[in-house]
Chain A
Amino acid sequence: MNIAERTGRRRLAVGWEAGDRRQVWPWPRLTLAVLAVAACAVPFLLNPYRVFQLTMVLVYGVALLGLNLVVGQSGQISLGHGAFLALGAYVPAVATGPLGLPHPVALPLSALLAFGLGLALGLPALRLRGVYLAVVTLAIAVVVPPVIKRFGAVTGGSMGLSVSAPSAPSWSGLADDQWLYLLVLAVAAVAFAAVRNLLGSRAGRALAAIRENPEAAEVLGVRIAAHRTLVFAWSAMYAGVAGTLYAWVVGFVSPDSFTVTLSIVLLAAAVVGGPDSPAGPLLGAIFMTFVPAAAQGAGDAVPGLVSGLVIILVVCAAPAGLAGLLRMAAGAVARRLGRE
């Protein structure tokens, strides 16, 4: 029973890299191109509020790309990625504000700092299996707001700090929010490509091996500890970058933006989107952004109610996440088209 369950729920060793994507959906490049064109056209077609929402989708998408490295690829659970997001968000707030550094510095700086923090936390985290890592990272997430408040001299305490975003260069003729959207889109595209590259590489295959069968991987000479630490650090880096983008887009950071709820929702979004799929982060980010927005009108509590329900339903009914459902739907459509 267990064996059947496993093979039924989890995709086997090589996953989508084996090329089964193409069997399921025959036009991946075309789809990607259409998506890319649509994504570029967004700021010119939609109203500023929608553009803001989609920018947030991309920001969360970058964070989830990172989280998926840990959750989907390394098979570990982090309930603390909000902490890296917070770090990344406070970097531009402090660096370009009080320290007066130029905007372009913020992004690599927060990437570097988050990578370092991820490495520092990833080293001990290696020792922890499964749910213990979840507990530790949850505790980290809980500690973030009080720490920010405690060092109020730098962080502005509970009042928060306002952040100035890079403004559109005059030659482009774009509004600031359009420019920011395109900037975030570019970063997201690079992040996506980098993840694809990583997973296609030797390291990616090692990760797949570790996730599916750590003991066997170890026997084959895969250095589990080194790989897991590095993946955690990479993942933290993505979250840090997303944090910086977040600060730019929202224009304001405060401890209340980075409560434990953010970390929890991030993990939930990763699961809902599909931790094992290239489309997962995007779908998860859409879930994170639009479910609360759509339910907001009905009252304070409704977004949480709906989100919680969606998470439970997805886990119970579609363990491969929304991406899994999409894959099934795509497979059905492709078969249909193929037959006609």
Chain B
Amino acid sequence: MSDLLLQVVQGLSLGAVYAGLALALVLVHRFTGIVNFAQGELAMLSTYVAWQLLDAGMPFWAALPVTLAVSVAGGMLVERLVIRRVEGGGELTLVAVTVGLLIFVNAAAGLVWSFAVRSFPNPFPAALGFGSAQSGFSALGVLGVVAVVMLALYVLFRHTGAGLIMRAVVADPVSARLAGIRVGRVLGLGWGLAAGVGAVAGVLVAPLLFLEPNMMGGVLVYALAAAVLGAFRDPVVTVAAGLGLGVAETLAGTYVGFVGADLKVAVPLLVIVAVLLLPRRAAETAPER
């Protein structure tokens, strides 16, 4: 595999992880109108759950569904215990509560699993283990898993009764309540779904980075950038933006000397600012009040 191609594939796999977390952000925002700054930390928590299961000797592809189930339940629990109390509050309230959640979850993970850095096994086969070929494989694996998640979400929302009810709630919660839909439960389910999608992102990114309570900080910024590009609304644009950011970051870090390894993280900032400042987009991205 040529060097450039490998870089692009790796960028795509990193981008797929960003896209996954960004998708979780979009889900939460569409359901509850909240930008969940704690989404990355919830994903980190899920990753620790997966690690714990693997550590107990469970095979990876068995641990993944268990992790997902735990994450969904966790997301619903967070919505129920914390978010429901502030729903309909001002933007500052909502930002503050998710920020508080971020700090709390981060510290809780540190308390349980310590701040030590751990390695996380790579779930994809290393059978053809020649350095670059293997990383190419795992990159394709990451892309594949994210694609499966997106497909599952699409089917859920477009072709199931539960998905129809969710879309109705997103479209108009008041009318949904008048139609007898228990909106509170649906919103909880939305948080649960988002936590599940975020968990996939966390489990996939953990082998690329390392497992530690602060691992998702950078990923969150990329995911936020991707979600901003999709105006926190459009899942397709969001995923495309996530992939693009992954590639842009990898290429800029490798080929643009000034950027180097240190300034890679500035890429999403520039993207966010550029997008938000284009006049046409600014109008679109203004959150509806």
Contact residues of A with B, CB < 8 Å? Answer: 2, 5, 9-10, 71, 75, 77, 79, 124, 127-132, 134-136, 138-140, 142-143, 146-147, 149-150, 260, 264-265, 267-268, 271, 275, 299-305, 307-312, 315-316, 319
Q: B108: which of A2, A124, A140, A305 is its contact (CB, 8 Å)?
A: A305
Interface of A (DSSP majority class) = helix
8 pairs, A vs B, C-beta closer than 8 Å: A5-B89, A124-B276, A127-B282, A128-B276, A135-B228, A267-B95, A304-B104, A311-B100
Interface bits B84-117 vs A (CB < 8 Å: 1, else 0): 0110111111111101111111111111001100
**Interface: B143 (CB within 8 A):** no
**Interface: B184 (CB within 8 A):** no
Q: How large is the interface on B (under 10, 10 to 19, 20 to 34, 35 or more residues)?
A: 35 or more
A128 nearest CB neighbor, chain B only? B276
Interface bits B263-289 vs A (CB < 8 Å: 1, else 0): 111101100110011000010011100
A123 nearest CB neighbor, chain B only? B277
Q: A130-B91, A136-B273 are in contact. Are A300 and B96 (CB under 8 A)?
A: no
The stretch that binds A, out of B55-63, B119-127, B156-164, B217-225, is B217-225
Interface contact B224-A138, CB-CB below 8 Å: yes
Interface contact A142-B102, CB-CB below 8 Å: no
Contacts of A10 in B (CB 8 A): 90
Complex: how many Å from CA A304 to CA B111?
10
Complex: how many Å from CA A255 to CA B37?
22
**Interface: B262 (CB within 8 A):** yes
Interface contact B272-A136, CB-CB below 8 Å: yes
Complex: how many Å from CA A302 to CA B115?
12
Interface contact A127-B276, CB-CB below 8 Å: yes
**Interface: B82 (CB within 8 A):** yes
Nearest CB of A to B268, in Å: 6
**Interface: B260 (CB within 8 A):** yes
Q: B217: which of A2, A150, A260 is its contact (CB, 8 Å)?
A: A260
Interface contact A143-B265, CB-CB below 8 Å: yes
B85 nearest CB neighbor, chain A only? A316
Contacts of B268 in A (CB 8 A): 139
**Contacts of B215-270 to chain A: CB distance below 8 A:** 217-218, 221, 224-225, 228, 260, 262-266, 268-269
Complex: how many Å from CA A302 to CA B106?
10
**Interface: B183 (CB within 8 A):** no
**Interface: B35 (CB within 8 A):** yes
Complex: how many Å from CA A129 to CA B273?
13
Contacts of A142 in B (CB 8 A): 217-218, 221, 265, 269
Most chain A C-beta atoms within 10 Å of own C-beta, residue among B92, B94, B225, B263: B92
Complex: how many Å from CA A71 to CA B97?
15
